[in-house]
Structure 1
Amino acid sequence: MATMESPKGTVKIDHVSKVYKNGTVGLDDINLDIKAGEFVVVVGLSGAGKSTLLRAINRLHDVTDGHILIDDEDITEAKGKQLRMIRRNIAMIFQNFNLVNRVSVARNVFNGRVGYYSSIKSALGLYSKEDKQRAENNLERVNMLDKYYTRADELSGGQQQRVAIARAMMQSPTVFLADEPIASLDPKTTKMVMDDLKRLNEELGMTVIVNLHSVPLAREYASRIIGLRGGKLVYDEPIQAVKESDFSEIYAEESDGKD
């Protein structure tokens, strides 16, 4: 009798701390258990540790103590091929989009697939028919297919962020991280990008973890809200239990910021 596979996209953060070389504490003994398919919004002041947390999940920097498990695999201990394989499952977009401005939207989206190709094939753009179809599907998902041949630097900020989402989706990730993805966008474009992320979560069952400054947006989109202050976890509630008054402690000023 076949056993059912556990849903993909779990993130377990076990006693994680991050202390920088100058002594600044970025994260202070963080414990979190994020289930597959959650839409988690992390809130807090600038310097609270939100970006540090997301970058630790993706191993963009190492932690000082503790472990982070992605689908029960320890990314903090992984090396070489194992690390590359775990990272394939974790997509990330940033505040500044990180596109290659001089090339087309399509070429930027294909860049999300480089982990599946040799460096020579990706440099020459020798992508499979299946991946060309995947690129079209992902651009269509964020309503950007009509910009397929457009250079990235001809797009608006919101369009660039949507291309960044399509590029990230090329990894076929189970976990999608977004670090202040709407910080530089106007309200209308903000809604489009947040709706895109919510669609990935609801339609594809993807675990989404987003850093936001906006409390109203957090309450509108999250299934769970996590609050950081001074590198510490000070709040963790499902959206049904969240009250407006809860945010006063999360946003209480610290004497020195850490991010």
Structure 2
Amino acid sequence: MTANKGNIELTKVSKVYPNGVVGLKDINLKINRGEFVMIVGLSGSGKSTLLRAINRLHDVSEGQILIDGQDITKASGDKLHKIRRSAAMIFQNYNLVKTSSVYRNVMSGRVGYYPAWKGALGLFTKEDQELAAANLDRVNLLDKYYVKARDLSGGQQQRVGIARALMQEPSVILADEPVSGLDPKTTKVVMNDLKKLNEEDGMTIILNVHSIGLALKYASRIVGLKNGQIVYDKPIAEVDKRDFKEIYREAGDDSSDAADDAEEA
């Protein structure tokens, strides 16, 4: 499914919001197929902006973003939809329709393969219905097929989000703080699901995270952002816990709680 796919390249990417706030500044980043990249940094460092720029939930002000050699920053219409399908997004707040069933939420990840009217009416093929069941089974939620999303726990809702992302048959999964607010046991379940997709399917995972401990445990590479710029980029074998002190230090601070957490992780 992901053979030779899942390569991301950002060249001189900047994002300036209408109010003048700089979200990203001169980002140059190349991520290869099959990497598990964890993006770390303070709140407001540009982590979410970076992820949303990759699949163009945000337009960038300057620069180029290639997904498997195709420039998503200049694409439009059907070409944009096709490129977006290859980079599925998992959201911090799950982004589910709480009054709909788990099945309908998962199938919403497939609507990009159908004319709008078919997707709206739920006219999905038998093959795609079977794919939805298979993807729910992968995250151990097949027994919740007919349950309303509102009746699930936070961890279960996030795993529905993973199953929905898989319906796009992506080569890249972008996850924006996917375990924020989850308890440690549920966090482990969700992270293990993502790691399994990375290792078994060769899927590229790019994930924003606050927890340094999770970054050290799951990442194959850690990228640090500060004030919209990349200030750190190393494969996990070269990462030292002490490196995080500079990434998380506020201007004028000599220490940080995040750096202390890194020493304890």
TM range (shorter): over 0.9
Distance 2:61 2:123 in 1: 40
Residue 184 of structure 2: aligned partner? 187
Q: Is the 8 A contact 1:14 1:67 kept in 2?
A: yes
Equivalence for 1:77: 74
1:150 aligns with 2:147: yes
CA displacement, residues 143-195 of structure 1 (integer Å, 9 cap, x when unaligned): 10010000000000000000010001000001100000011111110000000
Q: Secondary structure at the match of 1:21?
A: coil
Residue number in structure 2 paired with 1:240: 237
Tell me if 1:221 matches 2:218: yes
Displacement of 1:64: 0.8
Show the counterpart of 1:169: 166
Match of 1:95 in 2: 92
Supply the distance in 1 between the matched residues of 2:101 and 2:3 (Cα, whole angstroms): 38
Partner SS for 1:228: strand
After TM superposition, the structure 1 stretch with the greater mean CA deviation from structure 2, 81-90 or 118-127, is 118-127
1:178 maps to 175
Q: Which residue of 2 aligns with 1:106?
A: 103
Name the TM-score, length of structure 1 as normaliser.
0.95
Q: Which letter maps to 1:127? A: F
SS of alignment partner, residue 17 of structure 1: strand
SS at match of 2:53: helix
How many aligned positions are there? 251
Q: Which residue of 2 aligns with 1:199?
A: 196
Aligned-pair CA distance for 1:211: 0.0
Instruction: Name the SS of the counterpart of 2:13 in structure 1.
Output: strand
Report the equivalent of 1:116. 113
- Tell me, yes or no, if the aligned pair for 1:90 and 1:173 is still in contact at 8 Å: yes
What SS class does the counterpart of residue 100 from structure 1 fall into?
A: coil
Q: Which residue does 1:51 correspond to in 2? A: 48
1:40/1:210 contact within 8 Å kept: yes
Map of 1:39 onto structure 2: 36
Distance in 1 separating the partners of 2:251 and 2:25: 14
Amino acid at match of 1:118: P
TM-score, with length taken from structure 2: 0.93
User: Take 1:129 and 1:23, find their aligned partners in 2: how far apart are those partners?
Assistant: 49
Which residue does the alignment assign to 2:16?
19
- Tell me what 1:30 maps to: 27
SS in 2 for 1:217: helix
Whole-Å Cα distance in 1 between the matches of residues 3 and 88 of structure 2?
20
Match of 2:130 in 1: 133
Contact 1:38/1:201 (8 A) holds in 2: yes
In the other structure, the counterpart of 2:59 is 62
Structure-2 separation of matches of 1:252 and 1:105: 41
Question: For the residues of structure 2 that align with 1:182 and 1:38, how far apart are their CA atoms?
Answer: 19
Q: Does the aligned pair in 2 maintain the 1:25–1:231 contact within 8 Å?
A: yes
Q: Distance in 2 between matches of 1:246 and 1:86?
A: 35
User: 1:239 and 1:103, CA in 2 relative to 1: closer, same or farther beyond 3 A?
Assistant: same
Q: Which amino acid aligns with 2:40?
A: V
Q: CA deviation at 1:118?
A: 1.2
Report the alpha carbon displacement of residue 254 of structure 1 after superposing the two structures with TM: 4.0
C-alpha distance in 2 between matches for 1:21 and 1:83: 23
1:252 to 239, 249, 252: 249
Moved over 6 A (4+): none
Distance apart, 1:81 and its partner CA: 1.0
Structure 1 residues 84 and 28: CA distance shift in structure 2, 3 A: same
Contact 1:177–1:209 (8 Å) recurs in 2:
yes
- Work out whether residues 110 and 170 of structure 1, in 8 Å CA contact, stay in contact via their aligned partners in 2: yes
How far apart, CA to CA, are the structure 2 residues paired with 1:22 and 1:163? 35
